[in-house]
């Protein structure tokens, strides 16, 4: 799932083919990126509805953007941003979910690449945005990585745990985004703040991640549905849990933005 800058440089020098995917803002890619990197915006897409139909539209949007990049067959995709945040893990999650293909995250991102002596050049060439415009409807290759709204509502605590990846003030309802109709959290959720899984722009060690998850009350023996505001931060925690050995994990992509828009759904706030 992860590759260090030095390992990537070594393997590239040895002739291995990689598709370098810059998931930062377009202007950042155009200013300075890894040589030969393509630009792919995976951040701005918001699922129309966390239903099987909505997820098929989401998978189609990613497939459409992927086709626009004309990624070299056999090249290993590597997603990167300035340092590990909420974009490169979401790129890898999209790849798994929509295409069932494997890829890597550049641990430490552009900062780590430069620190390891890697060259940076202005980005040019293929660019794409995950967007509904012109996209087909596709059956996701790994639909288990996306939990529907109904699955989240009906989650059985005996077999499934809900993980809120947002900041503590969002969890207790003292802060709410202007675009959200209500403040609070999904009942039954436990907090694991997404920024706690990274340190100095890289993912923490597998041991540290496993300890962090256990301390927050999670166990690898249960399915974990992760959510945040609009599904991006949740992907970072999903990758962290997979690094820690969790096998059955998913993102509720609509997350709080969607949940709060349904007045019939329950919520909890500060106690």
Q: Residue 90: CB partners within 8 Å, gap ≥ 6?
A: 23, 42, 43, 231, 232, 235, 236
Q: Which helix (H) or strand (E) holds 223?
A: strand 223-227
- Dmax (CA) for the chain in angstroms is 57
Q: Residue 222: CB partners within 8 Å, gap ≥ 6?
A: 159, 160, 161, 248
Mean pLDDT rounded to a whole number for the chain: 97
Locus of tokens 């139909």: 53
| Domains of the chain in sequence order | 2-129 (3.40.250.10), 147-260 (3.40.250.10)
Q: Which token pair is 122?
A: 């202005």
Q: In 3D, which of 254, 206, 248 has the Cα closest to residue 58?
A: 254
What pLDDT, on the 0 to 100 scale, is given for residue 6?
98
What pLDDT, on the 0 to 100 scale, is given for residue 256?
96
pLDDT in tens, 30-71: 999 999 999 999 999 999 999 999 999 999 999 999 999 999
pLDDT in tens, 69-115: 999 999 999 999 999 999 999 999 999 999 999 999 999 999 999 99
């Amino acid at each position: 799932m992860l590759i260090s800058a030095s390992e990537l440089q070594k393997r590239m020098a040895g002739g291995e083919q990689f598709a370098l995917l810059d998931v930062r803002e377009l202007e950042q890619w155009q200013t300075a990126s890894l040589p030969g990197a393509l630009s792919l915006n995976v951040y701005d897409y918001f699922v129309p509805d966390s239903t099987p139909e909505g997820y098929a539209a989401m998978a189609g949007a990613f497939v459409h953007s992927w086709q626009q990049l004309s990624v070299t067959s056999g090249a290993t995709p590597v997603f990167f941003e300035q340092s590990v945040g909420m974009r490169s893990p979401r790129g890898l999650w999209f790849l798994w979910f929509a295409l069932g293909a494997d890829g890597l995250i550049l641990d430490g991102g552009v900062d780590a690449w430069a620190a390891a002596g890697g060259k940076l050049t202005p980005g040019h060439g293929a660019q794409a945005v995950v967007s509904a415009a012109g996209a087909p409807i596709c059956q996701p290759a790994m639909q288990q990585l996306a939990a529907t709204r109904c699955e989240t509502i009906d989650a059985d605590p005996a077999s499934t745990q809900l993980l809120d990846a947002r900041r503590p003030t969002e969890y207790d309802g003292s802060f709410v985004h202007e675009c959200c109709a209500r403040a609070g959290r999904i009942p039954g959720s436990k907090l694991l703040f997404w920024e706690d899984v990274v340190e100095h722009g890289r993912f923490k060690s597998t041991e540290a991640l496993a300890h962090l998850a256990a301390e927050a009350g999670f166990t690898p023996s249960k399915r974990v549905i992760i959510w945040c505001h609009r599904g991006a931060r949740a992907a970072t925690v999903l990758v962290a849990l997979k690094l820690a050995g969790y096998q059955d994990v998913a993102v509720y992509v609509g997350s709080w933005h969607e949940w709060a828009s349904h007045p019939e759904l329950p919520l909890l706030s500060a106690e």
